Structures are given as structure tokens and as C-alpha cells.
Amino acid sequence: MIVINDASDDNTSLIVKAAGFPVIDLSANLGIGGAMQTGYLYACNQDYDIAVQLDGDGQHDPLYIEKIIAPIINGEADMVIGSRFIAHDGFQSTMLRRLGIGFFRKFISLLTGAKFTDPTSGFRACNKLIIAHFARYYPFDYPEPETLVTMRRNGYRLLEIPVMMYERMGGSSSIQSLKTLYYMIKVTMAIMIEMIKNHDIEGDTYDRNKTTVVSDSY
């Protein structure tokens, strides 16, 4: 496990180190995209075969990691997304966020033909090929919907599985009520630009024996 401390002003680094986990302390706040790409760069440079991404605010239960990586280990998927909306267990997010999630669910389906129940979920696992891509490029702001479009366009196998999520236990969301419209417009434009970009992703075979977990906060 590696924790990316995105220049926090609390005791994140000290707490994580005291618990015996490695930490990458960023000298400046890079935001979610930069923090996550740092984790994928680490995974790529360390030649890991699976990376698991989860939020550090208590919403995602690490007990589901084994379930999330199983389809990758079994060769059934290149990326697995944990969805709170398949079994409808646990915290289902706020009404405002559910409206935004519903919009991106329909928008991504219209553009790609793929149906995702939880396109903004940050609880994900990916294999070595996708790790290499994310190490080279990762969207800067609110990347979850955009990365689904990118991976879908490049022919990777994406799979959703049911997980239980919890209400935020600490910190505050980067998407507040007044920013919701801005978020939706910005991500929609990013996805549309993504649809017209050319990508050249090179991949290779891999051994499924290494896993890293990246978290953008603690």
C-alpha cells in the first residue's frame, strides 16, 4: 500500500508512517488528478501488475479489495469499478450527487454504448496495461468519468461489481453544491474532447503477482 499525501496541512503523513505504511509526500497540492497519477507512476515504476484506487475519507471499504481484483487476476477484466448502485447497499450519496451521476451514466452510454451504474466511483482496480497508460496521462480534475471513456475507446474490458460504500467519515468533498453545475459542464467538455483525441497505448503481457493500493488522502 502507498498513500499519496497531497500536501495536506494535517497529520496525514505522521499518522500513516506511525501505522507502518509508506507515504509519498507531495511538496505542493496537485489535486486529485496529480495525486492519483503519482500513485500510478509509483506502481508503474515498481512494475506492479494490479493497482487498486480508493478514497481516503472512509467511503470505500478495503475489505472489498479482494473482490475487486478477482476479475483482473482471472483475466476477465482490465479495469474493475466498485459500484454502490448495483446492490443498492450502504450509503447511496446525496440527492444532488445522484442527479449528476445519473447524467454521466446516460451521457457516457450515449457516447460509448457502455452502461455504467456508478461512473463517478473512485473505488477501482486496473491491470498493468492501464497502469502504464495512467502513468503517462491522467485527467487533472474529476477524472473518473473521463477515464471510463478513455479505456472504453481503447478497447479495454471494463467491469462493474457491487460494493457497499459509506458516508464520508472525514474531510470535505471537492464538489460542493455551488460547484455542481461547473463540475458537470467541465467534465462533459472533457469527455467530448476525449472522444476526438487520438491515443496510442502500448501494452504487453503481465504476471499477476504484485498489487499496490493507492489512496489520495488518509
Least confident interval from 39-48, 59-68, 139-148, 177-186:
177-186
CATH class (in words) of the domain with range 2-215: alpha beta
Q: Tens digit of pLDDT for each residue in 105-123?
A: 999 999 889 999 999 999 9
If phi over 0 gives left and psi between -120 and 50 gives alpha, with beta otherwise, what is residue 30? alpha
- Decide which of 57 and 147 is more confident: 147
Rg, the chain, Cα only? 16
Kindly tell me if the per-residue pLDDT of 173 is higher than 70. Answer: no
What DSSP assignment string belongs to 138-196? Answer: --SSS-HHHHHHHHHHTT--EEEEE--B----SS--S--GGGHHHHHHHHHHHHHHHHH
Q: What angle do CA 123, 70, 127 make, to 5 degrees?
A: 65
Q: Tens digit of pLDDT for each residue in 121-167?
A: 999 999 999 999 999 999 887 789 999 998 998 899 999 999 999 88
Give me the chain's average pLDDT, please.
84
Q: Where are the alpha helices (DSSP H) in 113-143?
A: 128-136
Structural domain boundaries of the chain? 2-215
Please report how many Cα atoms fall inside a 13 Å half-sphere around the Cα of residue 38, on the Cβ side.
22
b/e per residue, 117-149, with b = 16+ CB within 10 A?
bbbbbbbbbbbbbbbbbbbeebbeebbbbbbbb
AA letter at 188: T
Please state, in angstroms and rounded to a whole number, the distance separating the CA atoms of residues 78 and 116.
Answer: 15
Beta bridge partners of 161: 82
- Decide which of 142 and 191 is more confident: 191
Please state, in angstroms and rounded to a whole number, the distance separating the CA atoms of residues 81 and 116.
Answer: 9
Please state, in angstroms and rounded to a whole number, the distance separating the CA atoms of residues 10 and 170.
Answer: 12
Please state, in angstroms and rounded to a whole number, the distance separating the CA atoms of residues 39 and 74.
Answer: 24
